[in-house]
Structure 1
Amino acid sequence: MSLTPTSRSPRPSRAAPPASPPTVSPVLELNVGGEFYTTTVGTLRKLPGSKLADMFSSSAKACTDAEGRFFIDRPGTYFGAILDYLRSGQLPKQHIPEVYREAQFYEIKPLVKILEDMPQIFGEQVARKQFLLRVPGYSENLELMVRLARAEAVAARCSNVLVCAVRTEEDAAHCAESLRVLEADKRLVVKFGPWKAAPAIRDLLDSVRMDIEAQGYQVAYEHCSKKTFQPKSGAYEYFYTFQFTWW
């Protein structure tokens, strides 16, 4: 007896489920220190672990302004450059130090690394600041100079601060007697050095001027001449006058 397979009726085909609409990242309006920006949550969360991504995570407490915009209490001028990088990887072409500072604050680590390789940041962070770390008491001396200048500013247009800069131990030995004479005459001197690094005295003095100007002061320096500076012993070539102008 032969077995004939029974025919089966075809099963009805199931309808495919409707396609889900593409996920759209919500649009946000931001108030960054008074500057207004429009972006998406996806852009702000582009780099997980960054401070900016954490600010707009689902568990974060949002701070809003009177108009309902999300508020970030930070200077907003350079925030656009941060957004441009997160959106498309675009790098800033100007205001590099300012954008670098904001990238550090928001912990946008890939952008920070790229900017550190740019000449403006490399020169400041790797060259100049590393040199100044080798100058003993540099920051403390800057503070002392400002204090001395402000103390002499009463009813005066300018204040002068006397600075002694010595690069080597031999230089320090040459001006030691002059410093003793000035101390006996109760003339205050801010002494820099010696240091173990390649930059010369002029490089140090330029750095002092730059860092004091960065605090908002108007300052210039000049070499003390024999006519204007005559301690009882020589070595005047190691002494400089920094002049603060108030008005």
Structure 2
Amino acid sequence: MVVVTGQNKVSGNPDDAMSSSDAEDDFQEPATPTATQAGQALPLLPQQFPEVVPLNVGGMYFTTRLSTLRRYEDTMLAAMFSGRHYIPTDAEGRYFIDRDGTYFGDILNFLRSGDLPPRERVRSVYKEAQYYSIGPLLDNLEDIQPLKGEKVRQAFLGLMPYYKDHLERIIEIAKLRAMQRKARFAKLKVCVFKEEMPITPYECPHFNSLRFERSESETKLFEHHCEVDVSFGPWEAVADVYDLLHCIVTDLSDRGITVDHQCIGVCDKHLINHYYCKRPIYEFKITW
């Protein structure tokens, strides 16, 4: 008869069981997953690009030389295709850029040969050049119409106090009135004046200025707010009232708002003695 005791179940014999030191030696840490195993993991080595690069920009296909993409060092495209960053590819092996490709051809044409887009595409290409940080293209576009004229226009509007705030106020008032009256249009009164008014025979403007030296008491006598919804002015620039009116209409039109305006008279507010305000008042009809 063979008697088996409980002590024989766990043997201290090195041939029957692995020692703790042996277990430590045989244990191996899991291998670091590769890009294929992990799916989303990025390659550790710098990415290599062919001399001719196929591109998929937002679903639109392009093909260009690697040297074209790297033409200007301080651009996003040069950085993307420098090898320092991983660029994913689509099912056909094209390098994918997650950006609308409508104007990417204009970007490539400039990088290839310095060609600029036609006037009707300048604004849109300018936005793409900003995104890709292509400084030389931005400089060239700013020197042609319509962006060249826009720089002059913005310089003028920079002299106009609270221009953007007044523009937003016109939109808000017109929207509120149209909704209250259940109509597609609304009318509001806008005062646009260039100079401080009125000019008395005894006043002379400051040198190279449209403002006048008045005492505090005189200023209060002439101060008042015309009975209008929005008032623009005064400003110190060569541009006149009609220039500002054109800017207002243009900016509203760019937002898809139809604007008609006409002068309906002047402010007849009596100020002092025989002096009246005489600032021109315009009626704006805003159609949604």
TM-score range relative to shorter protein: 0.7 to 0.9
SS in 1 for 2:146: helix
1:122-201 → structure 2 map (5 Å cutoff) = 122-125=148-151, 127-154=152-179, 155-170=182-197, 177=224, 179=226, 182=227, 189-201=229-241
Match of residue 6 from structure 2: none
Which residue does the alignment assign to 1:238?
Answer: 280
Matches of 2:105 and 2:197 in 1, distance apart?
52
Q: Secondary structure at the match of 2:197?
A: helix
Offset, 1:171: 5.7
For these two proteins, the number of residue pairs brought into alignment is: 212
Amino acid at match of 1:168: E
Cα deviation, residue 190, structure 1: 0.8
2:126 to 97, 100, 109: 100
Whole-angstrom distance in 2 between the partners of 1:190 and 1:201: 15
Cα separation, 1, equivalents of 2:93 and 2:176: 48
Closer, same or farther: CA 54–164 of 1 in aligned 2, 3 Å: same
The one-letter code matched in structure 1 to 2:195 is T
Distance 1:58 1:88 in 2: 24
Decide whether the 8 Å contact of 1:30 with 1:72 is kept in 2: yes
Matched, 1:76 2:101: yes
Counterpart of 1:152 in 2: which secondary structure? helix
Structure 1 portions without partners, runs of 5+? 1-22, 183-187
What is the one-letter code of the residue matched to 2:191?
C
Q: CA deviation at 1:239?
A: 1.0
Instruction: Indicate the residue corresponding to 2:87 in structure 1.
Output: 62
Deviations 1:109-162 (A, max 9, x none): 11221222224222111x111000000001111111111111112210211222
SS across alignment from 1:169: coil
Counterpart of 2:146, as a letter, is Q
Inter-partner Cα distance in structure 2 for 1:84 and 1:239: 50
2:71 to 23, 37, 46: 46
- Contact 1:178 1:235 survives alignment (8 Å): no
So what's the TM-score if we normalise by structure 1? 0.73
Considering only CA atoms, is the larger Rg found in Structure 1 or Structure 2?
2
Contact in 2 for aligned 1:168/1:193 (Cα 8 Å): yes
Name which structure has the greater RCO, CA cutoff 8 Å, separation 6+: 1
For the pair 1:37 / 2:62, whether they are aligned, the reply is: yes
Contact between 1:136 and 1:193, CA under 8 Å: does it hold in 2?
yes
Q: CA deviation at 1:194?
A: 0.6
Amino acid at match of 2:285: Q
Shift, 1:24, TM fit: 5.3
Distance 1:242 1:36, change over 3 A: farther
Which structure 2 segments of 5+ residues have no match? 1-48, 200-218, 271-275
Distance 1:221 1:38, change over 3 A: farther
> Offset at 1:241?
1.7
Structure 1 residue 103, shift from structure 2 partner: 1.9
Deviations 1:48-88 (A, max 9, x none): 11123223332224356677654444443322111101012
Q: Do structure 1's residue 114 and structure 2's residue 140 form an aligned pair?
A: yes
Alignment TM-score, normalising by the size of structure 2: 0.64
**Aligned equivalent of 2:25:** none
- What amino acid sits opposite 1:132 in the alignment? L
